[in-house]
Amino acid sequence: MIPFVDLKTQYAGIKIEVNAAIQGVLDSCQFTLGSEVVEFEKEFAAYCGSPFGMGVNTGTSALHLALLAADIGPGDEVITVPFTFVASVAAIYYTGATPVFVDIDPRTFTMDPARLEAAITPRTRAILPVHLYGQMADMDPIIAVARKHGLVIVEDACQAHGAEYRGRRAGSMGDMGCFSFYPGKNLGAYGEGGMVVTGNAEYARKIRMLRDWGAEQKYQHVLKGYNYRLEGIQGAVLRVKLRYLEAWTEARRAAGRRYDRLFAGSPVPTPEAMAHNRHVYHIYAIRTSRRQDVQASLLADGVQTGIHYPIPVHLLPAYADLGYKAGQFPHSERAANEVLSLPMYPELTAAMQEKVAAAVRKAVG
Ligand SMILES: Cc1ncc(COP(=O)(O)O)c(C=O)c1O
């Protein structure tokens, strides 16, 4: 069986370093925030090309606090895409603001900037592009629209560690960039984790307070805050793993190119990486209108797959109150019906990919 994700093989390769890092936290007893988190914040922010990094407990919290730092709340609208993980939209809801959707560009699965201006109203305060699957959204036109209308940009970079757009790293192009360190992410904790990166010292100061009960100093609560702290053990593990991230990213990119070659000349539509982007292949999704059959056939041939995501957020029962209907975002709806994620991780071998590709070709017919 070729698994869809494989965290065990990666751990086996870094076990000695990771175990020592965890032991260090046990010895120091700095279990929440603490020096490992502080060092990781500096190292990851530098990796992103951003001056400030604030570690938090999840990617969802990162998005929530980024929006709060920009004073977004009830009565405001935040524009995002419906073809994303539900957390992008949930974070907007947490603030009391209203999510407003624009459709994706079907080539890249990311926000179509050409549709942005039509979604802007006097209440619009922010744009939240999602760098889905590891490819950055088309940031230049998004930034141009944001500047013209005085809007904040919060990048959802939860799937895009190390991705680049015209040489600039994910998280560093908007006002704030939000990352998840969920275990299966390109940079994954051994538990939960997240971070906001920014070049804005005031946003950084507010987020540092908001994640730790809004306190400027202990018991001096100046803002209504949250317990969104990043744990010391996660900071220590993430520091070890960050040292490998570039090598792992290059391995993912090589695996992406290999899949592309293996499917060349076949009827399998492969993901498009824009020439100006560094796609980091968190997900490698093909498209098929016979997804159920293809997925079952692959499983019978020993290949596990995933679907990211089967229902666009505007059609999820939880968000029915937004009042959207099927047919309003045809590219998102079609993608949700057709995408199929193939195994993708740095440890995937050429032989495994050949087996996957042969099984896909057979299933697609
Ligand atoms: C696009 C996107 N946004 C937000 C999140 C939320 O991150 P977390 O699971 O760390 O809260 C995730 C990952 O789960 C994601 O993939």
Q: Are 362 and 262 in contact (CB under 8 A)?
A: no
Closest of 320, 347, 276, 251 to residue 2, by C-alpha: 347
Dihedral angle computed from the Cα positions of residues 58, 62, 65 and 66, in that order, rounded to the nearest 10 degrees: -170
Q: How far is the CA of 59 from the centre of ligand 1 (A)?
A: 5
Predicted confidence (pLDDT) at residue 31 exceeds the cutoff of 90: yes
CA distance 331 to 317: 20
> pTM above 0.75?
yes
99 in contact with ligand 1, CB cutoff 6 A = no
Amino acid code (one letter) for 331: H
Q: Are 314 and 345 in contact (CB under 8 A)?
A: no
CA distance 260 to 296: 22
Dump pLDDT digits (tens) for 232-254.
999 999 999 999 999 999 999 99
SS3 labels along the chain: CECCCCHHHHHHHHHHHHHHHHHHHHHHCCCECCHHHHHHHHHHHHHHCCCEEEEECCHHHHHHHHHHHCCCCCCCEEEECCCCCCHHHHHHHHHCCEEEECCEECCCCEECHHHCHHHCCCCEEEECCECHHHCCCCHHHHHHHHHHHCCEEEEECCCCCCCEECCEECCCCCCEEEEECCCCCCCCCCCCCEEEEECCHHHHHHHHHHCECCEEECCEECCCCCECECEHHHHHHHHHHHCCHHHHHHHHHHHHHHHHHHHCCCCCCCCCCCCCEECCCCCEEEECCCHHHHHHHHHHCCECCECCCCCCHHHCHHHHHHCCCCCCCHHHHHHHHHEEEECCCCCCCHHHHHHHHHHHHHHHC
Q: How far is the CA of 341 from the centre of ligand 1 (A)?
A: 17
For a mutational test of ligand 1's pocket, the pick from 56, 60, 161, 211, i.e. the residue with the most ligand atoms closer than 8 A to its C-beta, is 60
Question: What average pLDDT score do residues 149-162 get?
Answer: 98
Please tell me the predicted confidence (pLDDT) of residue 57. Answer: 98
For a mutational test of ligand 1's pocket, the pick from 158, 181, 211, 339, i.e. the residue with the most ligand atoms closer than 8 A to its C-beta, is 158
CA distance 317 to 86: 11
Question: What average pLDDT score do residues 4-29 get?
Answer: 98
Q: What is the mean pLDDT of the chain?
A: 98
194 in contact with ligand 1, CB cutoff 6 A = yes
Dump pLDDT digits (tens) for 189-227.
999 999 999 999 999 999 999 999 999 888 999 999 999
Distances (CA, A) of 292 to 113, 307, 335: 32, 10, 14
Please tell me the predicted confidence (pLDDT) of residue 257. Answer: 98
179 in contact with ligand 1, CB cutoff 6 A = no
Percent with pLDDT over 70 in the chain: 100
Q: How far is the CA of 179 from the centre of ligand 1 (A)?
A: 8
Q: Which atom of ligand 1 is nearest to the CA of 185?
A: 13
Dump pLDDT digits (tens) for 331-355.
999 999 999 999 999 999 999 999 9
CA distance 308 to 294: 15
Determine how many CB atoms are found less than 10 A away from the CB of residue 341: 20
Q: How far is the CA of 310 from the centre of ligand 1 (A)?
A: 16
Q: Are 167 and 148 in contact (CB under 8 A)?
A: no
Q: Are 267 and 93 in contact (CB under 8 A)?
A: no
Q: Write phi, then psi, for 57 (nearest 5 degrees).
A: -80, -25
Task: Label residue 186 by pLDDT band (50, 70, 90).
Answer: very high
Please tell me the predicted confidence (pLDDT) of residue 365. Answer: 82
* Cα 83–Cα 305–Cα 63 angle in degrees, nearest 5: 35
Amino acid code (one letter) for 167: G
Q: Which two tokens stand for residue 55?
A: 């570690």
Predicted confidence (pLDDT) at residue 171 exceeds the cutoff of 90: yes
CA Rg value for the chain: 20
> Measured between alpha carbons, how far apart are the two ends of the chain, in Å?
21
Please tell me the predicted confidence (pLDDT) of residue 259. Answer: 98
Question: What average pLDDT score do residues 44-63 get?
Answer: 98
Question: What average pLDDT score do residues 10-28 get?
Answer: 98
Dump pLDDT digits (tens) for 82-101.
999 999 999 999 999 999 99
Please tell me the predicted confidence (pLDDT) of residue 35. Answer: 98
Question: What average pLDDT score do residues 146-150 get?
Answer: 98
171 in contact with ligand 1, CB cutoff 6 A = no
Please tell me the predicted confidence (pLDDT) of residue 266. Answer: 94
Dump pLDDT digits (tens) for 314-325.
999 999 999 999
